[in-house]
Amino acid sequence: AQSVTQLDSHVSVSEGTPVLLRCNYSSSYSPSLFWYVQHPNKGLQLLLKYTSAATLVKGINGFEAEFKKSETSFHLTKPSAHMSDAAEYFCVVSGGNTGKLIFGQGTTLQVKP
Amino acid sequence: DAGVIQSPRHEVTEMGQEVTLRCKPISGHDYLFWYRQTMMRGLELLIYFNNNVPIDDSGMPEDRFSAKMPNASFSTLKIQPSEPRDSAVYFCASSTRQIPNTEAFFGQGTRLTVV
């Protein structure tokens, strides 16, 4: 069975400082992992994905994530936060033969000026 | 491709009425998902289809909810009768298992308000 845990429900950073959103996963199979972003009153947009290629994955808007199998983690980072990064972020795992996507509970990123 | 298209974008209905939400997936995608998002429960997977066949409907809250996919380009989620606790944003998403394109593409959602 697959599951995903986002370790922080809320993260607050100052503009220009690094962002770290943490995600741990559990999967019986070699997983595909994703990060999605949702801005207020908007749909979900894919930030980046890992599908068993390079373990360091670069996404849009300067975000990246590193797949660490030994730690079962897929943390999302960005060197310098921008005000427009304020949103809800979801870590997602897909695996096995089902095609089913499992969402974490989400992390709200607040960016202070 | 125009992406996943959901309609209506907003729906306000009275308790007890039937509500039908519609979704057109991306052409060529063989998976379709229905999610519900609320403040209290976050994103919940209600049901998903593969090649128009329902695979897992364990997330459907109760018998008042039903979903169909009569063909590869159309799906509906129906609530009958609707209740105020059904108020939420309902998202439809589609994907394909052809690696590396395994991510799901989401529609803009339908905001349902039951009064």
Query: Does pLDDT of B1 surpass 70?
Result: no
pLDDT, position A95:
63
Type of residue found at A2: Q
* Residues of chain A with C-beta less than 8 angstroms from the C-beta of B97: 99
* Residues of chain A with C-beta less than 8 angstroms from the C-beta of B113: none
Distance CA B8, CA B16 (A): 19
Distance CA A106, CA B39 (A): 11
pLDDT, position A27:
82
How far CA B73 is from CA of B23, B68, B108, in Å, comes to: 8, 11, 17
Best B47, B89, B94, B102 member to test A by mutation, with max A CBs in 10 Å, is B102
pLDDT tens digits for chain A (113 residues)?
A: 788 999 999 999 999 999 999 999 998 777 889 999 999 888 899 999 988 778 899 999 999 999 999 999 999 999 999 999 999 999 998 866 666 788 899 999 999 99
Task: Report CB contact under 8 Å: B102, A105.
Answer: no
What's the whole-number mean pLDDT along residues B97-112? 82
> Nearest Cβ partner of A101 from B33, B99, B100?
B33
Task: Report CB contact under 8 Å: A101, B45.
Answer: yes
Closest-CA distance, A53 to chain B, in angstroms, reads 9
pLDDT, position A44:
93
> Nearest Cβ partner of A46 from B33, B48, B103?
B103
* Residues of chain A with C-beta less than 8 angstroms from the C-beta of B59: none
pLDDT, position A64:
97
Distance CA A60, CA B103 (A): 14
Strands (E), chain B: 5-7, 10-13, 19-24, 31-38, 42-50, 53-56, 65-71, 74-79, 88-95, 105-106, 110-114
pLDDT digits 0-9 by tens, B10-37: 999 999 999 999 999 999 999 999 999 9
Distance CA B85, CA B1 (A): 34
CA angle B86, B44, A28 (to 5 degrees): 160
Distance CA B10, CA A14 (A): 35
For residues B49 and B75, the answer to whether their CB atoms sit within 8 Å is yes
